[in-house]
Chains A and B, each alone.
Chain A
């Protein structure tokens, strides 16, 4: 079965370190997204991609970057981790067609100390 996998599931890092969260999907979807979930804020869009070599900023993109070198992967990098980036991060993918729903991974819980 096709799936979307995030790794690691849990990560603890120190302020100022660079951290990369992995996202891999086998749906062969063109669209991939990164959201963060915080209490009181719901799901907020960080970055997204509509295909290889395409990346776009979302609502809360400061301090994050992504790259899309193939269809399957969209890694999320925190250039210099801050305590405000402690959150649960969700990767999602969808077909390129209008009204296709998002398929989410199970999330990465990141703690920045």
Chain B
């Protein structure tokens, strides 16, 4: 049973517009959430995270929103740039030193 779900395999956005990537989770014990970005032939790189005690975390053009009651988080990228074209993975973990559980990923294409 998939605990972290990214239901959109792909997303296309025009340069300069907002990209919104969505993620749902089923495990109510998850208390820390992360987004990773992956370019072809490279490993995933950490992008931004949020703890369950917060509902928003911002870092430059990237903002993550967490809705615990809906078990939903989203990553907003504003403004989107061609270099943002990549696969984005949502990940979550329980409290403590536990392994990350990843979603299937969403491929973002930013069109110039």
A-B complex is real: yes
Binding site for B on A (CB under 8 A): 4, 31, 33, 35, 40-45, 48, 50, 58, 90, 92, 96-99, 101-107
| Chain B residues, Cβ within 8 Å of A50 | 97
**Cα(A103)–Cα(B41), bound, Å:** 15
User: Which parts of B59-99 form the interface with A (CB within 8 Å)?
Assistant: 89, 91, 95-97, 99
Asked whether, in the complex, the Cβ of B49 is within 8 Å of the Cβ of A42, the reply is no
Asked if B100 is at the interface (CB within 8 A of a chain A CB), the reply is: yes
Contact B100 A102 (CB under 8 A): yes
| Chain A residues with CB under 8 A of B103 | 42
Which residues of B line the A interface, CB within 8 A?
6, 32, 34, 36, 41-46, 49, 51, 89, 91, 95-97, 99-105
Among A35, A48, A99, A101, which residue has its beta carbon within 8 angstroms of that of B51?
A: A99
Chain B residues, Cβ within 8 Å of A41: 104
| 8 pairs, A vs B, C-beta closer than 8 Å | A33-B99, A33-B100, A42-B89, A42-B102, A42-B105, A97-B97, A101-B46, A106-B43
Closest residue to B42 on the A side, CB-wise? A106
CB-CB under 8 A from A42, the residues of chain B are 6, 89, 102-105
CA distance A33 to B105 in the complex (A): 19
Q: Give 18 A-B pairs besides A58-B99, A104-B44, A104-B45 with Cβ atoms closer than 8 angstroms.
A: A33-B99, A33-B100, A40-B104, A42-B104, A43-B44, A43-B89, A43-B105, A50-B97, A98-B32, A98-B96, A101-B49, A102-B44, A102-B46, A104-B36, A104-B43, A106-B41, A106-B42, A106-B43
Q: How far is the CA of A85 from the CA of B49 in the complex (A)?
A: 31
> How many whole Å from A10's CB to the nearest CB in chain B?
10
Q: How far is the CA of A50 from the CA of B99 in the complex (A)?
A: 10
Q: A35-B102, A41-B104, A42-B102 are in contact. Are A99 and B44 (CB under 8 A)?
A: no
The interface residues of chain B lying within 8 Å CB-to-CB of A4 are: 43
Contact across chains for B46 and A90 when beta carbons are under 8 A apart: no
